[in-house]
């Protein structure tokens, strides 16, 4: 494995990462020697399924995949007594630009994820779990598969874990390169062997999910947190973080910082702490110009707002969000218009093509950015960008990918209008050379748009 | 590869594909694992291969092609024996990914994602975030991730795959072979 970049080792607030860095932690024997699988034993032998769900509710844990939905509440939506198969589906598609924390967990401690899955499955009464893992994650897949096999050999995955009559199997399903598969209903379509186009909700996955059956869908980090909650107790976990957003979460800090990495942070700490202290701040002589607080889909905040906290409520008040926890930092040597253009290329490329504002709008935005960057811009282009941005937002699209593209345009325009005007009206760039964007060598998306 | 009057996929692969549906709650989920097997065998998915996958799974060929063209890890044209998937999304771009791509193009003598180097060894594409942003700029190659890329690392990866010792003092010149058919 590559050198660890991020939190590891015992520190007061480390819940997920305190064991990271232990040699061979990915093996069952080492994980168990450090207290692994005690939460599963406790859940199976000492707790009723409803108690487990209640403990998770008490912890206040909110989903770490992006939407931040209350995890315990989500678990309680599954009717445990409904006859027929039920599934746990794990979202390991991790494709939000700037986010690497699920990979960090899977490579360091795959058994923690396996344990979380087993507890969740027992709580909601599912006998089969599917991990949908992005196709590019070869190493994490191998490690997770190996962990499952070890747990199977030990009897934790199988007909009678710890002697309890609770058969469970965990299987992997590999993705094949499509960001939209991270969206939960698109993921389910893909798992069913279809083009990954989101479904309209309701019905929600808890009622009609994978293969039409009740399904609990959670992110890797969400489930990896569950063993700690069962071990400590929900109330103890809830003492960390803020009242509405308890606990810690993994923030991936990337871009123009001296120490990029995946850092475990108590929710409520400021971005100044995260970016300037943990990640070492921007390179010598540079300042933070802008940062994306929660993956590329989270509206940007200017460097002047570094004292913003990592709490979802505070971020929402600043018109942004905690999202996937991907903190992308850009310093003052880079151009905001070029950065926005690159992200719109991403959203255009990844649009699944199901709804018109997204399929057409994202592409229209890219072409508008291209004109601006080629010095062919004017007030007309700025107006078009604002119009396209509005058209992508506020429920005009079926899923969050549409809004995300709109938010990139809207938030960068809102905070950096002068730089847009430099490019569009005065044909100059305050940080770099003005040159038309080069053609990208991407895979053709014949089947999507 | 395929020859006239014979199927695109060998019998043992088709047999393997026929066994896949039983592993899933519903057989349709086998379509992507099946396409994986086909692509591993042939390097890319030809229309014939997709039809044979469809037949083996009792699905409509158009349906299978619809799925295969949705996902960017399925290739529909020949690719190099080694394909460089270079991330150029924001975190990598901010740390020099575009320069890595420029250097790679020159090192393998390929300009676009639909081209293959004349010796059939190399192709590349720019991809979206690969979920390893703390090691930016980075890429995926031969089912592995490579981190903290720079020109020297790219040169070394290319040279290793050409089966030539890594030259450190001097940049190895991109090998120019007289044009012949790519593939093989
Ligand atoms: C476009 C889009 C992409 C998403 N990508 C991911 C992803 O890669 N991983 C993830 O866990 N959730 C992703 N989500 C959020 C999921 O839809 C879902 O809310 C989440 O997986 C639920 O798990 P949680 O409650 O544990 O967070 C994405 C959502 C959207 C709209
Ligand atoms: S918003 Fe975009 S990605 Fe989402 S369903 Fe519509 S077209 Fe597909
Ligand atoms: S942006 Fe390149 S790996 Fe995330």
CA distance B159 to B152: 10
DSSP A304: G
Q: Is B69 on the interface with A (CB under 8 A)?
A: yes
Q: Which residue has the higher pLDDT, A153 or B172?
A: A153
pLDDT, position A2:
85
Per residue in A220-259, pLDDT (tens digit) is 999 999 999 999 999 999 999 999 999 999 999 999 999 9
Fold of B82-161: Glutaredoxin (3.40.30)
Query: Are A81 and A124 a contacting pair, CB within 8 Å?
Result: no
| DSSP H helical ranges for A156-219 | 184-191
Q: Per-residue pLDDT averaged across B146-159, rounded?
A: 98
Fold of A28-237: Rossmann fold (3.40.50)
Inform me whether the pLDDT recorded for B4 exceeds 90: no
Per residue in A358-410, pLDDT (tens digit) is 999 999 999 999 999 999 999 999 999 999 999 999 889 999 999 999 999 99
Among A195, A211, A350, whose Cβ lies nearest the Cβ of B66? A195
- CATH 1.10.10.1590 in chain B, residues? 11-70
Residue B71: other Cβ atoms inside 10 A: 22
Question: Which atom belonging to ligand 2 lies closest to the Cα atom of A359?
Answer: 7
Q: Are β-strands A288-292 and A326-331 bridged in parallel, bridged antiparallel, or unpaired?
A: antiparallel
CATH number of B11-70: 1.10.10.1590
Inform me whether the pLDDT recorded for B172 exceeds 90: no
Nearest to A108 by CA among A200, A266, A204, A221: A221
Name chain B contacts of A289, Cβ cutoff 8 Å. none
Cα separation of the two ends of chain B: 8
Name chain A contacts of B25, Cβ cutoff 8 Å. 85, 128, 210-211, 213
Q: Per-residue pLDDT averaged across A338-360, rounded?
A: 97
User: Is the distance from the beta carbon of residue A70 to the nearest atom of ligand 1 less than 6 Å?
Assistant: no
CATH number of A248-331: 3.10.20.600
Interface of B with A in 115-144 (CB under 8 A): 124-136, 140, 143-144
Name chain A contacts of B136, Cβ cutoff 8 Å. 254-255, 260
Q: Strand (E) positions, B44-127?
A: 82-87, 122-127
A184 by DSSP, 3-state: which? Answer: helix
Give the pLDDT band of residue A447 (cuts 50, 70, 90).
low
Is A254 close to B91, i.e. CB distance below 8 A? yes
Among B125, B135, B145, whose Cβ lies nearest the Cβ of A442? B125
Q: Are β-strands B122-127 and B82-87 bridged in parallel, bridged antiparallel, or unpaired?
A: parallel
Distances (CA, A) of A432 to A253, A337, A422, A428, B19: 24, 11, 12, 9, 57
- CATH 3.40.30.10 in chain B, residues? 82-161
DSSP A371: H
Sign of CA dihedral A433, A439, A441, A442: positive
Element (H, E) at A234: helix A234-238
Q: Is B76 on the interface with A (CB under 8 A)?
A: yes
Give the pLDDT band of residue A436 (cuts 50, 70, 90).
confident
Give the closest residue (by CA) to ligand 2 atom 4: A399
Indicate the range of A331-345, B130-144, B156-170 predicted with least confidence: B156-170
Is B76 close to A446, i.e. CB distance below 8 A? yes
Inform me whether the pLDDT recorded for B170 exceeds 50: no
Per residue in A183-215, pLDDT (tens digit) is 999 999 999 999 999 999 999 999 999 999 999
Ligand nearest to the CA of A253: 3
Q: Strand (E) positions, A70-127?
A: 87-92
User: Is the distance from the beta carbon of residue B130 to the nearest atom of ligand 3 less than 6 Å?
Assistant: yes
Inform me whether the pLDDT recorded for B50 exceeds 90: yes
Nearest to A331 by CA among B123, B90, B183: B90
Per residue in A268-285, pLDDT (tens digit) is 999 999 999 999 999 999
User: Is the distance from the beta carbon of residue A190 to the nearest atom of ligand 1 less than 6 Å?
Assistant: no
pLDDT mean across residues, chain A: 96
Element (H, E) at A132: strand A128-133
Query: Are A173 and A200 a contacting pair, CB within 8 Å?
Result: no
Element (H, E) at A108: helix A101-108
Give the pLDDT band of residue B171 (cuts 50, 70, 90).
very low
A173 by DSSP, 3-state: which? Answer: strand
Name chain B contacts of A191, Cβ cutoff 8 Å. 29
Tokens read off for A178: 């499509």
Per residue in A70-113, pLDDT (tens digit) is 999 999 999 999 999 999 999 999 999 999 999 999 999 999 99
User: Is the distance from the beta carbon of residue A97 to the nearest atom of ligand 3 less than 6 Å?
Assistant: yes
Residue A348 CA from chain centroid, whole number: 19
pLDDT, position A394:
87
Residue in the block written with tokens 């979802």? A312
User: Is the distance from the beta carbon of residue A198 to the nearest atom of ligand 1 less than 6 Å?
Assistant: no
Domain map (residue ranges) of chain A: 28-237, 248-331, 336-426
Residue A233: other Cβ atoms inside 10 A: 12
Q: Do the domains A336-426 and A28-237 match in fold?
A: no
Nearest to B149 by CA among B89, B83, B109, B101: B101
Distance (Å) from the C-alpha of residue B150 to the closest C-alpha of chain A? 16
Is B90 close to A211, i.e. CB distance below 8 A? no
CA distance A89 to A204: 13
Strand partners, A218: A90
- Please tell me the number of Cα atoms within 13 Å of A226 on its side-chain side: 34
The CA B108 to ligand 3 mean position distance, Å, reads: 22
What is the pTM assigned to this prediction? 0.95
Angle at A16 between CA A11 and CA A20, to 5 degrees: 70
CA distance A405 to A26: 37
CA distance A221 to A108: 12
User: Which class in CATH covers the domain with range A336-426?
Assistant: mainly alpha
pLDDT, position A150:
98
Question: Which atom belonging to ligand 1 lies closest to the Cα atom of A68?
Answer: 27
Distance (Å) from the C-alpha of residue A35 to the closest C-alpha of chain B? 28
Give the pLDDT band of residue A449 (cuts 50, 70, 90).
low
């Amino acid at each position: 494995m590559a050198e660890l970049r991020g939190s590891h080792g015992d520190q007061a607030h480390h819940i997920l990462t305190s064991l990271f860095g232990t040699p061979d932690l990915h093996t069952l024997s080492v994980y168990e020697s450090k207290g692994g699988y005690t939460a599963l034993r406790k859940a199976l032998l000492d707790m009723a399924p409803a108690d487990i769900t209640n403990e998770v509710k008490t912890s206040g844990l909110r989903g770490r995949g992006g939407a931040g939905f209350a995890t315990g509440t989500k678990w309680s939506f599954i009717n445990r007594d409904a006859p027929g198969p039920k599934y746990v589906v794990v979202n390991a598609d991790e494709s939000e630009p700037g986010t690497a924390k699920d990979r960090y967990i899977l490579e360091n401690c795959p058994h923690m994820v396996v344990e979380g899955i087993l507890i969740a499955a027992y709580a909601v009464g599912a006998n089969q779990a599917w991990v949908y893992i992005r196709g590019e994650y070869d190493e994490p897949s191998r490690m997770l598969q190996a962990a499952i096999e070890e747990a199977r050999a030990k009897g934790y995955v199988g007909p009678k874990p710890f002697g309890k009559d609770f058969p469970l199997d965990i299987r992997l399903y590999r993705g094949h390169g499509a960001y939209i598969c991270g969206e939960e209903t698109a993921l389910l379509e893909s798992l069913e062997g279809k083009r990954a186009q989101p479904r309209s909700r309701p019905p929600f996955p808890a009622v009609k999910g994978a293969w039409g059956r009740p399904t609990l869908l959670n992110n890797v980090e969400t489930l990896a947190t569950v063993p700690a909650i069962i071990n400590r107790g929900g109330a103890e976990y809830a003492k960390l973080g803020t009242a509405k957003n308890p606990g810690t979460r993994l923030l991936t800090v990337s871009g123009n910082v001296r120490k990029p990495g995946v850092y475990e942070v108590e929710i409520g700490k400021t971005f100044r702490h995260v970016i300037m202290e943990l990640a070492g701040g921007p390179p010598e002589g540079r300042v933070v110009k802008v940062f994306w607080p929660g993956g590329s889909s989270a509206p940007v905040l200017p460097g002047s707002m570094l004292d913003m906290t990592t709490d979802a409520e505070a971020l929402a008040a600043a018109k942004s969000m905690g999202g996937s926890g991907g903190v992308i930092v850009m310093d003052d040597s880079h151009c905001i218009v070029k950065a926005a253009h690159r992200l719109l290329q991403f959203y255009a490329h990844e649009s699944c093509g199901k709804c018109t504002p997204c399929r057409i709008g994202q592409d229209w935005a890219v072409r508008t950015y291209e004109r601006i960057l080629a010095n062919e811009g004017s007030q007309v282009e700025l107006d078009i960008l604002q119009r396209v941005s509005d058209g992508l937002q506020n429920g005009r699209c079926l899923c969050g990918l549409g809004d995300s593209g709109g938010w990139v345009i809207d938030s960068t325009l809102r905070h950096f209008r002068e730089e847009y005007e430099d490019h569009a009206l005065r044909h100059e760039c305050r940080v770099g050379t003005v040159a038309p964007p080069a053609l990208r060598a991407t895979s053709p998306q014949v089947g999507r748009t | 590869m395929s020859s006239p009057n014979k199927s695109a996929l060998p019998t043992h692969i088709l047999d393997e594909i026929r066994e896949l549906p039983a592993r899933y709650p519903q057989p349709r989920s086998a379509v992507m694992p099946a396409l994986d097997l086909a692509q591993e065998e042939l390097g890319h998915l030809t229309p014939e291969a997709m039809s044979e996958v469809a037949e083996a799974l009792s699905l409509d060929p158009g349906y299978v092609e619809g799925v295969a063209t949705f996902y960017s890890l399925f290739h529909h044209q020949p690719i190099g024996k080694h394909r460089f998937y270079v991330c150029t999304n924001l975190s990598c771009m901010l740390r020099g990914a575009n320069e890595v791509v420029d250097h790679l193009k020159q090192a393998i003598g390929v300009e676009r994602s639909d081209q293959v180097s004349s010796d059939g060894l190399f192709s590349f594409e720019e991809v979206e975030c690969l979920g390893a942003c703390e090691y930016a700029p980075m890429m995926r190659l031969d089912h592995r991730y490579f981190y903290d890329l720079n020109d020297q690392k790219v040169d070394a990866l290319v040279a290793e795959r050409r089966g030539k010792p890594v030259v450190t003092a001097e940049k190895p010149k991109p090998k120019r072979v007289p044009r012949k058919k790519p593939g093989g």
